[in-house]
Each structure stands twice: as C-alpha cells, then as structure tokens.
Amino acid sequence: MSSTTVKQRIVDGRLRLGVFGLLGLGFLALSLPAVLEPMTFWTGIVLGDYAYPIHELHHLVLGSVFPILLLGVLIQAYRPSERVGALHTSLIIWASLVLTFTVGGQFSPIQVVLLGLLVGMAVTHPAGRDQFPSFEAVSRPMLAVAAVTATGAIALAGIELLSHFGANDAHVAFDHYLFMATTGLSIAALAVYGSLRGVGWRFPVYSAGFLLTVIGAGSIVYPGAEQGSSLGVALGFVVVLWAVLFVGLIERGDELFERL
C-alpha cells in the first residue's frame, strides 16, 4: 500500500469522524429543547413539586425514555467504536417514535429531520461495518428470551395505540398513549437487538430492562385506571420481575443453558 493511499485514508477517516460529530451535535441541539421538560417530571414526582395529577405514570415513562435517547448520542463523544449499541438504541427509540406518531396521526417533519441525523451518524460511525452484529453467533435461547419480551412489549404498544384512537381523555390530548406505544415498540426492538450481542450490546439490553422496570414499578405505585396505562399492582410486579430475569438471562443465560 502506497504512502499516498495511507494518507488519503487518514484524511477520509478524519473527515468521516468530523461529519459524525457534527451530526451528533445537530441532533442534540434540535432535540434537547423539546425533551428538557419531560426529563424534569421525575424530580417533580419524587420531590413533591408536581402539578399534573393522573399523569404520573406517563410522565415517569417519558422522563425515562428521553434521557436514554440523549445519552446514547452523548456518549459517542468517547470511544464511539466501543459504544455502537448506545447509538443504535437512540436510533431504535426515535424510529419507533416516528412510526408510532405517523400511525397515530401526529407526524411532524422535525421527526424525520432528527431521524435523518441519527441515520447519518450510523452511516458515518467510526466502527463502520463492524457495528452490525454477526448472526452466525446468535444464541437461540437468548433470542427466545428476547422474543418473549418483545411479544409482551408489542402487545402493550398495540393496546396503547387502541387507547389513543378509542379513548376520550386528557391522555389522548397530550399524546401520552402514543408515547407509551413508542416505548413498547422500543423495548421490543431493543430486546431483540441486544440479544444479538453486537458491539456495545449491554446498553440496549439494560435500557429495555430499565424501561420495563419503570412501567412495572409505575403501575404498582399508580394502579388507578385514571392513569390511562397502568397495568395494576399484580401485573406490574410481573413486569418488574421479568425485567430482572430478562437482563439476567441475557447476561448469564448461556452459562445457565449449558448446564441444563
């Protein structure tokens, strides 16, 4: 390989990294103003300075999804080649939002702009083709665990979409059912993607587990029907338990299944 070719590759790599960084900054600049308020719902609920009764569960979920979305982009600033799963988590969450809001009749052009920025980050990512997981090493037991998780999450998303179209309450006006459906679709996709164990697979796995825990715990604390999406105490406990089992099985499941 000639020295000219090597130099050209270095220049191309730096240019690619520069574009990657600019796209990330663009996404953060456009999305941060819109998600700052939802990210403060947690503090209001926990500290008692909360002014939206009957919306606690939805706001707990909103206040959990958006930090994950932003964090997946923010941590690309440090060793992005090792944090592919984090960026893909943000991409999955936002793609789920665009799809859900389009189906729910709340499409906005800015949604596509932000999605385009995330897709551009994936295309220009320093990991290149290495960011795609290998299907040759997929664990069938792990994929089965993810499929069970995804089935439940998709069912939740479907119920939330039906509520959006069929209910006539304040949750519809605030698009809360659409956000819950987005979360359900995100959990489903993150569970399956994380089970493939590509580069940085723990971020999507733990994100899915965390969101399941928030929904389950929120349903336990706020079991009333006025919440719109509460699963109730019993089912909430089941969801929290499954979240723990899901993460544990993806982490250590291979060792367990080898012993059986």
The whole-number pLDDT of residue 13 equals 66
The whole-number pLDDT of residue 11 equals 53
The whole-number pLDDT of residue 46 equals 78
Mean pLDDT of 214-229: 96
Which among 208, 205, 189, 185 has a CA at the least distance from the CA of 197?
A: 205
Mean pLDDT of 230-235: 97
Instruction: Quote the crossing angle between the two packed helices 84-103 and 176-195, to the nearest 10°.
Output: 140
Mean pLDDT of 197-219: 97
Task: Report DSSP letters for 19-45, one per residue.
Answer: HHHHHHHHHHHHHHHHHHHHHTHHHHH
Mean pLDDT of 33-47: 81
pTM (2 decimals)? 0.93
Helix ranges (H only) for 129-231 are 140-166, 170-173, 176-195, 202-221
- pLDDT range class, residue 43, cuts 50, 70, 90: confident
The whole-number pLDDT of residue 224 equals 94
Encode pLDDT of 131-165 as tens digits: 988 887 788 889 999 999 999 999 999 999 999 99
Rg value, the chain, Cα: 20
Widest Cα–Cα separation across the chain: 70
Mean pLDDT of 74-83: 94
Q: Alpha-carbon distance 210 to 106, whole Å?
A: 27
The whole-number pLDDT of residue 194 equals 95
- pLDDT range class, residue 10, cuts 50, 70, 90: low
